[in-house]
Amino acid sequence: MEAAAETGNMASVQHIILVLSGKGGVGKSTISTQLALALRHAGKKVGILDVDLCGPSIPRMLRAQGRAVHQCDSGWVPVYVDQEQSISLMSVGFLLENPDEAVVWRGPKKNALIRQFVCDVAWGQLDYLVVDTPPGTSDEHMATVDALRPYGPLGALVVTTPQAVSVGDVRRELTFCRKAGLQVLGVVENMSGFVCPHCAECTHVFSRGGGEELACHAGVPFLGSVPLDPELTRSLEEGRDFIREFPESPAFPALLSIAQKVLTEAPARLL
């Protein structure tokens, strides 16, 4: 590790995980949120950094919208989601006066804010920092990877939906990871199938199998398929804790196995 990593706000952050996808709306923020909740249930302290500057979703998904970020001596104090302060959160959403305001910024300004987010947030002791990103392979991604490089991120979770149109974009994201020297922890397939609540017929709304095929093709681990579950969507809309409230949901085992993978990967890296 470089000398810079020994000091500053990131010094006591153990593991950094990026959640990426070339495609928008595939569930990066959903997976980030659920991963953070699952890690919390495993007794970890988790931070979420939302670097999606034009479309921050995390505050709403954790029912933290409208909260404000405060300043302290060592920088910005993140927003704590719960009383135990086991999940802390930083997002551009907290810096907007009006939630409907558009952040109409070009690259350089976005890069500057991301650097500030990485350097100037007083996370304190964290076991995991989950970094939720916008879709694509552009400014935000390069800025984030560059800023985090001194702290040795654990790797990236790559999210896709099953259809070929999405998998096509995600293939490009895997190329980005390779070029950026970011280890791919695995591919997650989201919105895999929908079980009709009336007749229990499972429909593959967005086709099937694309995520697994992609992981196979690219030689990276496949972490599981998360089915479409209206309860999951609803729970995110209302900012509730899905993992605690719906252990019987078909989406539950997939989310848990992703968290498990992250938990087992982390100690391996410490050796």
Binding residues (CB under 8 A) for another protein: these are 22-26, 29, 53-55, 57, 60-61, 95-97, 99-110, 112-113, 116, 134-139, 141-142, 161, 163-166, 168-169, 171-176, 179, 194, 196-199, 201, 203-207, 228, 230, 233-234, 236-238
Q: Which is nearer to another protein, 233 or 260 (CB)?
A: 233
Q: How far is the CB of 147 from another protein (least distance, A)?
A: 13
Spatial distance between the Cα atoms of 176 and 83, rounded to a whole number of angstroms: 38
Q: Which is nearer to another protein, 142 or 263 (CB)?
A: 142
Do the annotations mark residue 145 as ligand-binding? Answer: no
Q: How far is the CB of 243 from another protein (least distance, A)?
A: 18
Do the annotations mark residue 193 as ligand-binding? Answer: no
Backbone angles phi and psi of 44, in degrees to 5:
-95, 155
Do the annotations mark residue 29 as ligand-binding? Answer: yes
Q: How far is the CB of 122 from another protein (least distance, A)?
A: 17
Q: How far is the CB of 174 from another protein (least distance, A)?
A: 7
The 3-state secondary structure of the chain reads: CCHHHHCCCCCCEEEEEEEECCCCCCCHHHHHHHHHHHHHHCCCCEEEEECCCCCCCHHHHCCCCCCCCEEECCEEECEECCCCCCEEEEEHHHHCCCCCCCCCCCHHHHHHHHHHHHHHECCCCEEEEEEECCCCCCHHHHHHHHHHHHHCCCEEEEEECCCHHHHHHHHHHHHHHHHHCCCEEEEEEEEEEEECCCCCCEECCCCCCHHHHHHHHHCCCEEEEEEECHHHHHHHHCCCCHHHHCCCCCCHHHHHHHHHHHHHHHHHHHC
Do the annotations mark residue 28 as ligand-binding? Answer: yes
Spatial distance between the Cα atoms of 167 and 157, rounded to a whole number of angstroms: 14
Q: Which is nearer to another protein, 88 or 161 (CB)?
A: 161
Do the annotations mark residue 23 as ligand-binding? Answer: yes
Q: Which is nearer to another protein, 206 or 252 (CB)?
A: 206
Q: Which is nearer to another protein, 47 or 193 (CB)?
A: 193
Q: How far is the CB of 149 from another protein (least distance, A)?
A: 15
Do the annotations mark residue 25 as ligand-binding? Answer: yes
Q: How far is the CB of 90 from another protein (least distance, A)?
A: 13
Q: How far is the CB of 266 from another protein (least distance, A)?
A: 27
Tokens of 187: 């591919």
Do the annotations mark residue 27 as ligand-binding? Answer: yes
Q: Which is nearer to another protein, 14 or 116 (CB)?
A: 116
Q: Which is nearer to another protein, 5 or 103 (CB)?
A: 103
Neighbouring residues of 24: CB distance < 8 A, sequence distance ≥ 6: 134, 135, 136
Do the annotations mark residue 43 as ligand-binding? Answer: no
Residue numbering of the annotated binding site for [4Fe-4S] cluster: 196, 199
Residue numbering of the annotated binding site: 22-29, 196, 199
Residue numbering of the annotated binding site for ATP: 22-29
